[in-house]
Chains A and B, each alone.
Chain A
Amino acid sequence: MVRPRVSLPADEQLRSSYLCPRRLGGVLSIDRATYDAIVAHARRDHPDEACGIVAGPEGSDRPERFVPMVNAAGSPTFYEFDSTELLELYKEMWDRDEEPVVIYHSHTATEAYPSRTDIGLANEPAAHYVLVSTREHGNSDGPVEFRSYRIVDGRVTEEEVRIVSSATSS
């Protein structure tokens, strides 16, 4: 058993692990419409990788504004936001006091798990990195893998994806 560095009273430890069994991995809560939009984008761009973000109010952890981006690399094995569009996107978010809550992209021939490149280039420690894999059904309907991760200092932590019926904010 791994001993916590700062030890909590035993009952406190018990309570936190009971209430938050996935506390370390966290949760991505995302509404159905946004989830569907990400999947649709990934299907549409298959066999190239699709990419984009979902912005939300700074510090809110609420992915609210779906922003599909062009994959400037136009590649089945790589994605990159166009540098001019990247600047426009960030300026727009700064004006609105938003941040990228979700950064998504697709894998079109491999599983929905961050590649070594994804890990090396992950520069938003507060973002949920969503990976969608279209390897099973390509452009067609059918289930897709949709998974979410935190990537911080080269460490990948998968988290639960919870689909909520709609955005709660008005």
Chain B
Amino acid sequence: MAIEVRIPTILRSYTGGEKAVDASGDTLAELVEDLESNHPGIKERLLEGEELRRFVNVYVNDEDVRFAGGLEAPVSDGDQVVILPAVAGG
């Protein structure tokens, strides 16, 4: 089962420069674990403890997962996941 995950520039050091990688899982949490097993270190950049980091946005098929169950959001074959760091500051 393959789900395409779009990787932002800042995290491409974990994917050997790849802009998109395939991953699998039934939920976003499982997908993150699968990403971590192939790209060690990336999980820490996405999660803080058991939560998505406040300034990391993750979209499943264009929907911000914050409004779709967070890490429990279901994902399946053919879905497109996009990771984008927030553009924010003070």
What residues make up the interface of A, taking CB atoms closer than 8 Å to B?
Answer: 51, 53, 69, 73, 77-81, 83-84, 86-87, 90, 99-100, 103, 105, 114-118, 121-126
List 25 A-B pairs, Cβ < 8 Å: A53-B87, A73-B88, A78-B88, A79-B88, A80-B86, A81-B86, A81-B87, A83-B57, A83-B64, A83-B66, A86-B86, A86-B87, A87-B84, A90-B82, A100-B87, A117-B88, A117-B89, A118-B89, A118-B90, A121-B86, A121-B88, A123-B9, A123-B87, A124-B9, A125-B9
Count of chain B residues with Cβ under 8 Å from any Cβ of A? 17
List, in ascending order, chain A residues with CB within 8 A of B57's CB.
Answer: 83, 86-87
CA distance A115 to B57 in the complex (A): 22
CA distance A86 to B9 in the complex (A): 15
Contact in complex: A79, B84 (CB < 8 Å): no
List, in ascending order, chain A residues with CB within 8 A of B88's CB.
Answer: 73, 78-81, 117, 121
Contact in complex: A123, B85 (CB < 8 Å): yes
B62 within 8 A of A: yes
Residue from A83, A100, A122 whose CB has the most chain B CB atoms within 10 Å:
A83
Within 8 A of A (CB), among B65-90: 66, 82, 84-90
What residues make up the interface of B, taking CB atoms closer than 8 Å to A?
Answer: 8-10, 55, 57, 59, 62, 64, 66, 82, 84-90
List, in ascending order, chain A residues with CB within 8 A of B85's CB.
Answer: 121, 123
Classify the secondary structure of A's interface with B.
mixed
Contact in complex: A124, B90 (CB < 8 Å): no
Do A117 and B90 contact each other (CB < 8 Å), given the known contacts A83-B64, A87-B84? yes
